[in-house]
A and B are shown apart, each in its own frame.
Chain A
Amino acid sequence: MNKKKREISIHKQKFSFKLMYKQRYLLVMSVPFVIWLIIFKYIPLWGWTMAFQDVKPKTFALSIWERTWVGLDHFKALLHDGEFFDALRNTLGISFIGIVLGFITSVGFALLLNEVRLKRFKKVTQTISYLPHFVSWVIIASIAKMVLGDSGVLNEVLGKIGVGPIKFMTTNGPAFWLVVCIINIWKETGWDAIIYLSAMTGIDQGLYEAAKVDGAGRFRRMWHITLPGIRPTIIVLVIMSIGGVLGAGMERQMLLGNGIVQDYADVVSWYAYRFGIGNNNYGFGTAVGVFQSAISLVLLFVANKVAGKFSDSKLV
């Protein structure tokens, strides 16, 4: 109560130069970073206006009011570009396969690891499982191209059991999405499982004891206690990942893709980069980014609404 009182008194602080002088060290220690924040995080937001303007390197130097306004022309051009729809299709394909498989594997991983009773073994397994998360995509791509390559270890083993070499990295088709997703799962499952495992430690142990007394076996306890226990966590994470569907990894596509799979490796962010920076069509590139953010926001709200309909867990 005492604390509450103090907080209220702090809120009522009035602006005065005396106070500013008293807090001058705090100001010196924070204002430079706020200036940094405004420059690097808020000024680019202003750049969104370029989505409605014709901005090329020549016109970039002009002030914002002197540039030609083109209204929604960039967006119209975007929706008439077949290449953009390829990129959109790939992004959605990869994201949805990734979300579905990713959630199944990470929840499954956490459920099973939670059942391991050898404490030390459990800890070591978990620690090793998230090593790939910390390794960069460049390294992962380098390893993947080696191991999954035509003359890599996996094809060598497959060859020994009579399965012909599979072109993992050079199959032009939706199969490439699956390969990307599986590599992503290899990289992230252990890491994604951490949050579920921590949610599991928060489940009331009494529930397990009671179920045990009632004669519920291990699987039934997993199914009826552990899984419902982490349901809110799962729902929040699913909603968040649906919001990020269109943002799907440009880095990962660039690194794992190659000329052969180009049609199925292109994603929206990479498309924006190529046209916006590669072709120097700044206005158009920004428009792609704005489009991407707008769709993401809509998806986030829809997912949130749907989740709200089916359960009590909502993000917002």
Chain B
Amino acid sequence: MKRTSRNKLNRYTSFDVFLVIFFVCITFITLYPFLNVLAISFNDSLDTIRGVNFIIPRKFTLDNYKYIFEEKDLFSPLGMSVARTVIGTAIGTICTAMLAYVLSRKDFYFNKLFTIMFIITMYVGGGLIPDYLLIGRTLKMTNEFSVYIIPGLIGVFFLILMRSFIEGLPEALQESARIDGATDFKIWYKIILPLCKPVLATVALFIAVTQWNSFMDTYIYARKLKTLQYVLYEILNDTGVKISNIHDANLNNTAATVTPQSIRMAITIIATVPIVIVYPFLQRYFVGGMTLGAVKD
């Protein structure tokens, strides 16, 4: 008796069926554009011009990708994207962790002052032109690799995320190390950092995604240090020399039959793949982190 009534309450209704169908459609709409681009990137360039590809490449080829890895103008931006992502992430994560530890120390004399100074910058900023004048004109960082690393060194949001994590660690560990005579730096390095692995990984991934995706800083400050995203923008806007280059290559080398459109699709996929691999791991602190950003102070 009890069992049947429970079943009755939990049985699946037509609404449940509708929901499943609805969300399958939503998932399809979300993924399909990527799959379409993927198909085009693996399809023969000339065949792509002839007609629309849906999901499966009609004439499968790796030429588009081969072209990217052989063409220096396309390959070196890929290297630049990787370089800024790796270096920017490493430096950014370490700096954030170091500062987060100091700001988690309630006994530090400047704790309140420094924390407030950082939080204020979440809400007010100089804006586009003052930033440009500082970075581009005063500090002369234009076309220097450091422009990718230094101006955005510490994200206040990540700082707060990490600080709250450190504050949640047991106090006793630090105490005992202090009694043993360890310096604050040693405590951070030997005790705090190893315990922070999960939050470090999360922040690192966030920074990596931001670094990999950014395009405006190249556009504004460092057009000579092209990244993959920037090259994609150039091809997209037909402004770059890339397209004429590709045409020239076609004339000189009849073996490579690629079109700017197909190259663009292949670059799009190359730029997307790292994100697809990495983003599910970011989930852990999503929700907590987002509410933190929205409601904090």
Asked if A115 meets B15 with Cβ closer than 8 Å, knowing A36-B153, A127-B283, A194-B290, the reply is: yes
Cα separation A26 to B178 with both chains bound (whole Å): 14
Asked if A116 meets B126 with Cβ closer than 8 Å, knowing A25-B183, A146-B36, the reply is: no
Cβ < 8 Å to B, chain A residues 227-251: 236-237, 240, 250-251
Chain A contact surface mostly: helix
Smallest Cβ distance from B53 to chain A, in angstroms?
Answer: 8
Cβ < 8 Å to A, chain B residues 168-221: 183-185, 188, 209, 212-216, 220
A36 cross-chain contacts in B, Cβ below 8 A: 150, 153-154
Give a binary string over B74-102; 1 marks a CB under 8 Å from any A CB, 0 the rest.
00000000000000000000010011011
B272 touches A129 (CB 8 A): no
Asked if A43 meets B134 with Cβ closer than 8 Å, knowing A134-B209, A186-B29, A289-B128, the reply is: yes
A143 touches B268 (CB 8 A): yes
A139 touches B118 (CB 8 A): no
The number of chain B residues with a CB under 8 A from chain A is 91
Check: A68 CB closer than 8 A to any chain B CB. Answer: no
B279 touches A186 (CB 8 A): no
Give a binary string over A45-72; 1 marks a CB under 8 Å from any B CB, 0 the rest.
1111010000000001000000000000
Contact of B27 among A39, A129, A273 (CB under 8 A): A129
A26 touches B102 (CB 8 A): yes
Q: Which residue of B lies closest to A218 (CB)?
A: B15
Cβ < 8 Å to B, chain A residues 139-171: 139, 141-147, 151-153, 156
Smallest Cβ distance from B273 to chain A, in angstroms?
Answer: 11
Asked if A125 meets B268 with Cβ closer than 8 Å, knowing A34-B117, A41-B121, A240-B294, the reply is: no
A113 touches B23 (CB 8 A): yes
B134 touches A40 (CB 8 A): yes
Cα separation A102 to B40 with both chains bound (whole Å): 30
For the A-B complex, the count of residue pairs with Cβ-Cβ distances under 8 Å equals: 238
B134 touches A30 (CB 8 A): no
Check: B62 CB closer than 8 A to any chain A CB. Answer: no
A146 touches B265 (CB 8 A): yes
A135 touches B213 (CB 8 A): yes
Check: B26 CB closer than 8 A to any chain A CB. Answer: yes
Check: B157 CB closer than 8 A to any chain A CB. Answer: no
B229 touches A136 (CB 8 A): yes
Most B CB contacts (10 A, CB to CB) among A143, A151, A269 go to: A143
Cβ < 8 Å to A, chain B residues 101-118: 101-103, 105-110, 114, 117-118
Cα separation A42 to B37 with both chains bound (whole Å): 43
B271 touches A138 (CB 8 A): yes
Q: Name the segment of A13-21, A81-89, A93-101, A173-181 touching the other chain.
A: A13-21
A156 cross-chain contacts in B, Cβ below 8 A: 52
A198 touches B291 (CB 8 A): yes
A30 touches B99 (CB 8 A): yes
Q: Which residue of A lies closest to B230 (CB)?
A: A138
Cα separation A245 to B117 with both chains bound (whole Å): 26
B132 touches A33 (CB 8 A): no
3 smallest beta-carbon distances between A and B, as pairs? A44-B126, A47-B130, A289-B127
30 interchain pairs, CB-CB under 8 A: A7-B106, A23-B107, A26-B102, A29-B98, A41-B126, A44-B125, A44-B127, A44-B133, A46-B126, A47-B130, A50-B130, A112-B23, A116-B20, A127-B280, A129-B27, A134-B213, A136-B214, A138-B229, A139-B232, A139-B268, A156-B52, A186-B29, A194-B286, A194-B290, A195-B291, A198-B287, A218-B15, A236-B295, A277-B128, A290-B127
